[in-house]
Amino acid sequence: MKTGKVFLVGAGPGDVGLITVKGLDAVKQAEVILYDRLANPKLLEYADSDCELIYCGKLPDRHTLRQENINGLLVQKALEGKLVVRLKGGDPGIFGRVGEEAAALAEFQIPFEIVPGISSGIAAPLYTGIPVTHREHAESFAVVTAHDKSQNGKPLLDWEGLARGVDTIAFYMGVGNLPFICENLIRYGKPSSTPVILIHWGTFGRQRTLQGTLADISEKVLQSKFSNPSIILVGDVISLREKISWFEKKPLYGRQILLARTSASPSVLAKELQAQGADVIEFPKWKVTKIPLDLTRVAAYEKILFTSPESAAEFFEALLEAEIDIRRIHAEFYGLSSKTIKALRERGVIGKLAQQIEDSENMLVIGENHLLQKNYQKAEMMVTSEKELDRQFLPIFQRMLKEAKINTMIFPSSASVEPFLTTLEDCQMNAAELLHQVQVIAMGELTQAAAIKAGLAETEKPVTPTKEALVDYMVKHPLQGVQE
């Protein structure tokens, strides 16, 4: 059997847009992905639906997989001939133990590549408005582990060298040792007035910061119950933050949004919400299996109705594969939504909304929703694909929802309500508990009615069901009585 290959990939600090092009290409090709807790799980959605996902997450008090087991799995899967990705938060070479994993692969002569990532020690400060170096404030920068194998987990460091020789210091995963860190930096020469900032979940919409000095930051952390994962940054360059803070000024910063999803394709709405500073968890995850289409009679219909943008794309792909010229089809084209009409226009076809259909005589409905036959009983149905729940993602969503503090729920369509609630039950989660004190927003009157019928009585809606109106509504109706 041919030996596979392993990519040891840095996923970046959290914002999915910060993974490298090479790293994302590896994820898309992977047959097996072993991923860490601090690698954003949304990156896994770029993988093939048949890719095996293995969680290697580590917490300070427990290990899902110990390092030797991770090394063994990388070797095992590669020897099975698989293309394997080890997806690690931040940069794999900075406290990522990539050297140990690469050595294990080299021992078995397994080919591998190491793909660097953006380190959280640099990215998290930048997302708070702090460059780690600056001509006037900081000419040197150090990254330091604040938790090592020494006795009691207290880092054995050259404290004098750090205190006197380095302008900006980033400590990784060191909240528990913060008093020890501050005490030693002061003892060896750092002024007690030196600024310190803690950045929790840096580059995510849930990012939080706590600022102080070496003299008082430990007490502030105790009072605010600040925790890992956090970067601790020490240095005078922190003073620049007030002038060049940018991420926290985004209109939806602090919004942790749960977006009900009905499509397997990337969400334009989710992308826009993220661009405005929000964290977005799209739930549930679907996978699609295409069905071979019989297109022998397609030119005979007078009307063709597409139920979704996906069904339009799959139909046009099938036409090309069957070498059927679109000019042979003389039917009027219709779409169930404006998004579907847009998908048709992108293929050079002007469609009309389904509301303009007067009768379903000699009509073909193309899509995945058999229930449409109730509305168009005289029409024939052509199913382009089968959509099913991707159950491999259920435990991933459980972890995401437990770590996030959801404060906004969005239903983009009436069809998104029932699948969302049903899948929550599959995750052993209660909708009433999860959405308690959460702002629930529906895109349109029909969607609002469906949410209220499902028991979500306080559902709100923007003026129009567009992403622009939605963002405007959330800006004008900030969270009240909601956990941020």
Cα-trace Rg, the chain? 26
Q: Tell me which of 58, 220, 250, 271 is the catalytic residue.
A: 58
Q: Kindly tell me the number of DSSP H helices and DSSP E strands found in the chain.
A: 16, 23
Structure tokens at 248: 């926290």
Spatial distance between the Cα atoms of 257 and 231, rounded to a whole number of angstroms? 24
DSSP lists the bridge partners of residue 258 as: 281, 409
Output the CA angle 397-399-404, nearest 5 degrees.
Answer: 95
Structure tokens at 409: 């729920």
256: alpha, beta or left, given left = phi > 0 and alpha = psi -120 to 50?
beta
Q: Could you tell me where the beta strands, DSSP code E, fall in 284-396?
A: 286-290, 303-306, 332-335, 352-353, 363-367, 380-383, 385-389
Sign of CA pseudo-dihedral 89, 92, 97, 100: positive
Spatial distance between the Cα atoms of 23 and 19, rounded to a whole number of angstroms? 6
Spatial distance between the Cα atoms of 59 and 368, rounded to a whole number of angstroms? 42
112 CB contacts (<8 Å, ≥6 apart)? 5, 6, 7, 8, 102, 105, 106
Q: Tell me which of 15, 42, 173, 303 is the catalytic residue.
A: 173
Structure tokens at 276: 């405005």
Catalytic residue list contains 58 = yes
Q: Tell me which of 36, 82, 88, 382 is the catalytic residue.
A: 36
User: Which residue type is seen at 164?
Assistant: R
Spatial distance between the Cα atoms of 307 and 299, rounded to a whole number of angstroms? 19
> Could you give the residue numbers annotated as active site?
36, 58, 173
